Amino acid sequence: MELRHLRYLVAVADTGTITAAAHELHVAQPGVSSQLRQLERELGETLLVRGPRAVELTEAGRAVLPHARAALAAVEGARDAVAGLRGLLRGRVAVGMASSLPETVVADQVGEFAAAHPGVTVELREGTADDLADDLRAGRLDLVVAGFPRTPPDGLDGVVLIEDRLVAAVAADDELAGRRAVPLAALAGRPLICLPRGHGLRAAFDDACAARGLTPGVAFEAGAMNLLLRLAARGAGVAVVPAPALGAGPVQALDRPPVAVALDPEVRTRMYLLWRTGGPAGPAARALQARLTP
């Protein structure tokens, strides 16, 4: 068994097809297929089911995959350790960021880190908090910045970067605009504008409603905070957003920006910097973790 066998298996698992894996690895497709068949012969098990459009892992393939990832990570870690002895920082860091986040939350620090360490390849991926947590546990990401209602998900550790209260954002001429606070129960009959399920902010709001026996009527879902607020400003419904979002430049540039109304009781959400339990692997990931940690 050689490292390239494991690298090809991981690439196929991540991309879903042999063609995409070959493109990502910059090798010929027949070579990938041949090496994977060789790995299957050596292990005496079929690892992949080759369908007309996609490739799926068999039960044996799913069992081998985490060991393949660990072996590749160990080799990369050895190379990074040697580079560290020479005073160099090299390697690859994959960072997941919730798609609802303002870009400035981590972009400036990640950009400064990349500029300071040209030997490190930094990858940024967007997604929902739940999906990013799954990718972090599976080893596809090294660090994640995303929101969760309370504590980090199982199998992950982290620190709180930001804690915000949620507010109801309404059009300037809405009947709620002049109120200091609105009970959650009063929102039950209003069309709501929220992030999709899977985002930490949405989970915090849904949990608060469920605790009071309320079922929110979500009329619009969107992953971009600015879109939620634009819809609210046009009177399409009540947007549930973090309070600081209403002070963002694009929102304030609207002719009639939405107005924030406090929720009663208060609902809060936390933005975490997360890593796998035990800490991120490799000196580059640990260096970026240290930069992002408050």
Lookup result for tokens 């936390």: 270
pTM across the whole model: 0.68
Query: What per-residue confidence (pLDDT) applies to 88?
Result: 47
Residue 86: count other Cβ atoms within 10 Å of its Cβ: 8
Query: What per-residue confidence (pLDDT) applies to 69?
Result: 86
Name residue 77's amino acid: G
Structural domain count of the chain? 2
Residue 152 lies in a domain: no
Where does a domain end: 87, 118, 134? 87
- Asked if residue 257 has a cis previous peptide bond (ω within 30° of 0), the answer is no
Residue 173 lies in a domain: yes
* 169 and 265 belong to one structural domain: yes
**Over the stretch 27-54, which tens digit does the pLDDT of each residue have?**
888 888 888 888 888 888 888 888 777 8
CATH at residue 17: 1.10.10.10
Nearest to 76 by CA among 23, 20, 120, 134: 120
Q: What is the 3-state secondary structure (H, E, C) of 67-111?
A: HHHHHHHHHHHHHHHHHHHCCCCCEEEEEEEECCCCHHHCHHHHH
Residue 112 lies in a domain: no
Q: Measure the CA–CA gap between 277 and 139, rounded to whole angstroms.
A: 11
Q: Is residue 243 within 8 Å of 162, Cβ to Cβ?
A: no
Q: Measure the CA–CA gap between 173 and 169, rounded to whole angstroms.
A: 12
Query: What per-residue confidence (pLDDT) applies to 80?
Result: 63
Residue 135 lies in a domain: no
Residue 125 lies in a domain: no
Q: Is residue 154 within 8 Å of 274, Cβ to Cβ?
A: no
Residue 108 lies in a domain: no
Query: What per-residue confidence (pLDDT) applies to 74?
Result: 76
**Domain containing residue 192:** 163-269
State phi, psi for 99 to the nearest 5 degrees: -65, -15
Where does a domain end: 58, 87, 116? 87
Sequential pLDDT tens for the chain (294 residues): 788 888 888 888 888 888 888 888 888 888 888 888 888 888 888 888 887 778 888 898 888 888 888 888 777 767 666 655 444 477 789 999 987 776 566 778 888 888 888 888 899 898 999 999 999 998 889 999 998 887 888 889 999 998 999 999 999 999 999 899 999 999 988 999 999 999 989 999 999 999 999 998 999 998 888 899 999 999 999 999 999 888 876 677 778 889 999 999 999 999 999 999 888 877 888 889 999 998
Query: What per-residue confidence (pLDDT) applies to 204?
Result: 92
Query: What per-residue confidence (pLDDT) applies to 165?
Result: 93
**Over the stretch 98-150, which tens digit does the pLDDT of each residue have?**
877 765 667 788 888 888 888 888 998 989 999 999 999 988 899 999 988 87
C-alpha pair distances (Å), 98 with each of 76, 129, 144, 198, 199: 27, 6, 8, 10, 8
* 173 and 258 belong to one structural domain: yes
Residue 224 lies in a domain: yes
CATH at residue 247: 3.40.190.290
Residue 282 lies in a domain: no
Where does a domain end: 52, 69, 87? 87
